[in-house]
Chains A and B, each alone.
Chain A
Amino acid sequence: MALRSRSLGLAAAGLIAAVALTAARSSEAVVFDPETFTLDNGMQVVVVTNRRAPVVSHHVWYKVGSADSPLGKSGLPHFLEHLMFKGTDTLEPGEFSRTVARNGGNENAFTGPDYTGYFQTIARDRLETVMQMEADRMVNLRLTEPEVLLERDVILEERSQRVDNDPGAKLSESLNASQYLHHPYRLPTIGWRHEIASYTMADALAFYEDWYAPNNAVLIVAGDIDAAELRPLAEKYYGSIPPRDVPERVRVQEPPQNAARDVVLKDARVRQPYWIRSWLAPSLNAGASEHAYPLEVLSEILGGTSTSRLYRALVIDQKLATSAGSYYSGTALDLGTFKIYASPRPGVSLDELAAAVEAELERLVAEPITPEEVARATTRMVAEAVYARDSLTSAVRSFGAALSTGRTVEDVEAWPERIGAVTAADVKAAAAYVFQEERSTTGHLLPADGQAARSANEDAEDDA
């Protein structure tokens, strides 16, 4: 029932991974071949034409996310995302959704650490209706106290469902909060429970007035439309909104990590232990960003598939784990993480798993990744990316994530070329740069003391 959520972005890890993997196509010169322009008020517009069905997917992404939460109000951007459905000067509460539904459209919204997005997928001839409503709520949001308080209860239930009911999600939240000692990526996208309970209408409106402006937004439309068709509509509805001063995204930066950290979560409900290690890593936007593309390739070779090094060693050869893999996304605005995870088979301790993972990382030095391994991985990654074009939303997510974090349309289009240019030496250098013990944070999910562990868990959780 994920489609009913209004906060898909809580699964930020998954979304970003999908974005990273989808931003490409095989040997052709372009990926999605978008058209792009900027309105006079500074709003960027991207159009990806796909005439498969008489349908368009219309997205507005704001360049603000949960890492921009005011101090003491973690998750406020996600709360505002929910409240954006509550009405404007001309729309009753809930009327936005009812109108989209009456027009045969699907809609939702999501919040991630670096962005907040709203979308409707709808028949081509209904596009103008949703553009009019989306532009309206960019500036005319109207809230009432009872609605705000009810929605706060909904958010608390959302938090229970996503996090508090799930020991694995709780570990993931703690791992993340420990990995980032100082940077606001430490905050859960949905917010800490006691801070959610403190939200007021004034908090939400202040945040809205600060950040929601055309010059801080990106319009992306994919489907049965081109730029010549979209431009008059975009100018009419969004172009008429005056630009406003928007705060700079000033985020405190992470200090160098000098000590490895351990996070242990023991819960009587855990019947499947789990081990995960996270290292601070450069992104395409921050830190030693020359390592970002090589890290994508490293992750594919080390733990991206069932023929990867970690899977073969831990799952097939040594039979210690039921699953093992790695995960990296370079799309964060600030420093990202590289993660390795494994789930033990019955009778295998998490320490044994850790030792086996460490041995594999040492093997990277003794038996470096070969040019053949790199060629295999990059060929596959680039080929897989062709599939992204068989979807209205892949292109939108790729451009939305890039443009919300300071990258460009050209960066997305150049992904296959840049992945294809990665060499074995690049991968080796990136691995040496990232895999330093003192930069790591390790998570352990275990049954309560005195309870027998029965085996392992493999969900790559939200890592925001």
Chain B
Amino acid sequence: MMRERAAGLVLGLWALALSVALAPTPADAASRVEEVVSPGGIRAYLISEPMLPLLSVSVHFKGGSALDPPGKAGLANMVSGLLDEGAGELDSQAFRTELEDRAVRLSFEAGRDEFTGSLKTLTEHRQRAFELLRLALTEPRFDEEPVERIRSQIQADLRRRSEDPGYVASQTWFETAFPDHPYGRPVRGTVESVAAIETQDLRRFVQDRLVRDQMTIGVAGDVTAAELGPLLDLAFGDLPAGGPPIEVEAAVPAVSGTVVVRKPLPQSQVMFGEGGLMRSDPDYYAAYVANHILGGGGFTSRLTDEVREKRGLAYSVYSYLYPTEFAPLWLGGAGTDSVRVGESLEIIRAEVARIAAGDISAEELEDAKTYLTGSFPLRLTSNDQIAGMLVGMQVHDLGIDYIDRRNDLIEAVTLEDLRRVAARLYDPEALLTVVVGDPPGLEG
């Protein structure tokens, strides 16, 4: 790891010592990342691993629900539910039967900024799996029966979610933060907006958005670079070269303060957050470390310690970076006894203020680094995880050697970096907080 450290990164001696002690980065796997260019010019990152007779493909198209037309929120999401419901000569049941009988797993998902697909197949069915992926991406049928069925499933899901305090908190947060921006619209749409989506909208989405110049591919598992090329052409070669430009305005949360959505619940669900940093920001890794200290994974963050461990106010409290493309954010959440919401919010605000003021110790930084670097290989133990990582590396332009370099980027963060970024990132006065529940004495 030390010898792979990028030139110019200054590390403290103690950090060097730690990186020696904790050197579990799967450098062998990482240095095996290959860039494959198919005969037809389709690019992919590949980690070839023949240990098990299966492989995973992850495909990412820029442009997600933020591009849904006005009044038709949920379009990208609805397409994601329909691409595997009939394509080419195969109607819905025939397509599903082909997938099931070969144990091929194919699924799609829409986010605010992206539309992604995931294919997982046994080696013996690899060829047909890529053919089915091609059909799904290029010749989806959108027959009336599956369109109406999936529409009814999405609407049922939205009704169920409308009972879910966590979902309501999240939707309210985004609506309030982005009243005039596409990020304010729900990714899954509303019962009404989903009702308004027509088959021609679905077809237009496929034609405009599933295009080669917005596409990124990661593959991991039992396939060689030579074998993958023709499979890439098979699955993706028929896609259009490009589509209309992706035009979304940059934005920041419109307001701060507290919003209460009153519901008779024993426990209130809280969501809080404010503007954050772009994934490409030079201080991103410092922000990543800062967030880990404030509210990151495991049971050791400040929020977990203060809210859960010391006071028993919540079962779950956390924060995370949400670096969307057009309005980067950091967000957090908690579920806390309605009667004690005020107390929980005070503690959360105080912790945000404390880290913003730069009250961070060298020991905390050291602990965060050992966790974040030591746990990195845990994210690379299955083909699915690796294929997803390979896509992320390309989408964010991190370089083909990112897996080797990533821990050095974390190690390079200094206490000064951390304090600088905390002052930029955290402002208790700018927090927008949404409470769903029945907190006494809390107005908003």
Contact = CB atoms under 8 A, between A and B. Distances in A.
A157 B312 contact: yes
B112 interface: no
Interface in B229-259: none
Contacts of B164: 166
Interface of A: 1, 3-5, 26, 52-55, 85, 93-94, 97-98, 100-107, 121-126, 149-158, 160-161, 164-168, 223, 269-272, 305-307, 312, 315-316, 319, 322-323, 343, 345-346, 376, 379-380, 383-384, 386-387, 389-392, 454-459
23 contacts: A4-B316, A4-B318, A52-B29, A54-B24, A54-B26, A93-B309, A98-B300, A101-B371, A123-B377, A124-B24, A126-B22, A149-B312, A153-B311, A157-B336, A160-B337, A161-B267, A165-B165, A272-B160, A323-B153, A379-B101, A383-B122, A387-B103, A457-B160
A54 B28 CA distance: 10
A325 to B, nearest CB: 12
B103 A380 contact: yes
A223 B377 CA distance: 12
B24 A55 contact: yes
B122 A386 contact: yes
Given A53-B26, A386-B52, A390-B54, 9 more contacts: A4-B299, A55-B24, A151-B312, A153-B312, A168-B160, A272-B163, A387-B54, A390-B383, A457-B156
Contacts of B159: 271-272, 454-457
B156 A456 contact: yes
B13 interface: no
Most buried by A among B29, B54, B163, B380: B163
A321 to B, nearest CB: 9
B96 A323 contact: no
Contacts of A458: 153, 156-157, 160
Contacts of B186: none
Contact of B162 (A271, A315, A322): A271
Contacts of A379: 101
Most buried by A among B26, B102, B377: B377
Contact of B373 (A3, A104, A319, A456): A104
B308 A53 contact: no
A305 B370 CA distance: 43
For chain B, what secondary structure do more than half of its interface residues adopt (helix, strand, loop), or is it mixed? mixed
Interface of B: 22, 24, 26, 29, 49, 51-54, 92-93, 96-97, 100-103, 105, 120, 122, 145, 149, 152-153, 155-157, 159-160, 162-165, 221, 263, 265-267, 269, 297-300, 304-305, 308-316, 318, 333, 335-337, 367, 370-378, 380-384
Contact of B298 (A106, A345, A346): A106
Contacts, number: 214
A126 B371 CA distance: 12
B153 A322 contact: yes
Contact of B374 (A126, A167, A346, A390): A126
Given A380-B100, A455-B155, A103 B374 contact: yes
A154 B374 contact: no
A166 to B, nearest CB: 7
B378 A161 contact: no
B378 A55 contact: yes
**8 smallest A-B Cβ distances: which pairs?**
A104-B374, A153-B312, A160-B267, A123-B24, A383-B103, A158-B315, A150-B312, A97-B299
Contact of B145 (A151, A158, A316, A387): A316
A16 to B, nearest CB: 21
Contacts of A54: 24, 26, 377
A101 B22 contact: no
A380 B155 CA distance: 30
B211 to A, nearest CB: 28
B293 to A, nearest CB: 11
Given A55-B378, A55-B381, A380-B101, A104 B267 contact: no
